[in-house]
Amino acid sequence: MTNRDLEKYSSAFTLSDMEIFIFPELLYSLVIANILSPEIWKWREDKWFHKIESMLPIKRIQRVKQYIMDHYDFNLDLETWGLTDKETEISRFREFIDPEVLRRSNALFGYEGDKYYFDINIRRHFGLDKFDTDVIPYWKTETVEAMNAFRFKPDHPAGAGECVSLATLYAAALFIVARIPLEQIFLMGTPLHSQNFVMLEEGVLTNNRRIVTKTMWYNGSELSALARRALEHEQVTIVAHKSGYIHSAFSKATINESDYHQFRKGLTAFLNIRIDFEIFINFLRYYSRHQKRFQLAVPCRGTIKYLALEKAFGYEHGSKNRLGDKTARRLLCEIGDEDFSPTPYEGRATITSKDTLFENGDYSDFIGALLESFPQLDSDETLSKDLKKFVHTVPRLPEGEKEWVGAQSTGHRAQSTGRRVEEEGRLKIVPEMTREEILEVILRDEGRESREEGRGKREAQRFIDCQSPVTSHQP
């Protein structure tokens, strides 16, 4: 066994965020461990999922989301995970990755890509300010059994885990309970966050315990702002899929190249939208600093009255109704007469839902028409920049010249490179299978050396059948 293999198999037991960064094949291994867990299969028996197979796919995903919201908390407390230090971990990994690449790409080793976290002091945010600057948390990524074990800790009424644990839990639960094929589920890891992209309809993101649809991504709410942060500010380091993985720091990619391009296409479409009145109002909700440059023209008893946009947004608080969508008329009826003006406010751009301005759709056409209609807005360059960022996020995905060592579905055989993480035809598991049938497929060990076969099956079976709660431990 090489030093890398020895460190990888050791990491499979301790399994921290940073170890998955070094050994990306472990990320999907955690998904498979959860798929083999009897714990998630028990969810099917819960009355919350009664007749879930008859529901539409998006409804099934929403059911899984609510179950996870009710039964699991997000947890990063240092008392649970324990501590290590930068030099110790860099020494472990120096043989496998350039330490400078590690520092630039991983939050624990010096990454500062997301300005938000470093404005609030990330070490204080995570409770590390009380320790030496070289001390870092040994954040564990856990199977569902270990996540469930949090219920045995004092003052922990539910299970818990950090973002990678929740992402892999989601992937397994969507497959087992929501019957979403693994082909449609892609896991994404950034230096500070992990989430999934599900290739269903317009796309669905999982984000810690929640899900985010395309409509939610563009609704301008505080929750969408939290969901946007990773993809707007961070490099996606790892994309993992049933066919393999791709990593921004490594030249070899084992993921099926065709699957990866489909994923890129789907995620890019999810992060782009045409502009109509509702999307523009959502943008102004999200970037509130621009609200004072606009006013609404509101028909009122045969005349037109004007409403400062920031006042209108103020009424959304405590109301079920929102500007821009089909409930907007009810919201306007909640606003007192004293907040309307009979004449336009000077210096503000006047907009209405009927304005032909919102027929352009495309960002370039829209921003040109907006500045032509309201030249006074041209003085603020941040408006056009913020609008483009809101409707057109460009994900920073792993790219460059990669050696695609996984089997491809584009008609040509991949070059043989020895042991591969994913061969064409492996992991043929579908939602219609039982756990026992899936276990039989996993233990078939088609790609393993014959001398490992007997021992591997015995060890895997013993691990899978062990249902005692597992607690986190330091290496």
Domain locations in the chain?
A: 3-272+395-465, 277-391
Residue with tokens 């026992």: 436
Lowest mean pLDDT among 14-18, 65-69, 268-272: 14-18
Residue with tokens 């001390």: 135
How confident is the model at residue 447, as a pLDDT? 46
SS3 252: strand
How confident is the model at residue 211, as a pLDDT? 96
Residue with tokens 């959502």: 282
CB-CB neighbours of 232 under 10 Å: 17
CB 359 within 8 A of CB 343: no
SS3 447: coil
Distance CA 155, CA 287 (A): 38
Phi, psi of 177 (to 5 degrees): -95, -45
Q: In the numeric block, which tokens belong to residue 215?
A: 């409509």
Total-model pTM: 0.86
Most confidently modeled range among 138-142, 184-188, 462-466, 468-472? 184-188
- Tell me the three-class secondary structure of 92-112, residue by residue: HHCCCCCHHHHHHHCHHHCCC
> Stretch 245-270: mean pLDDT, rounded?
95
Model confidence over 315-360: pLDDT tens digits? 998 899 999 999 999 999 899 889 999 999 999 999 999 999 998 7
CB 467 within 8 A of CB 145: yes
Distance CA 71, CA 58 (A): 20
> Stretch 272-280: mean pLDDT, rounded?
95
CB 262 within 8 A of CB 199: yes
CB 349 within 8 A of CB 293: yes
Which positions ≥6 away from 405 have C-beta within 8 Å? 252, 253, 254, 414, 415, 417, 420
Lowest mean pLDDT among 81-90, 166-175, 336-345: 81-90
Residue with tokens 């782009």: 272
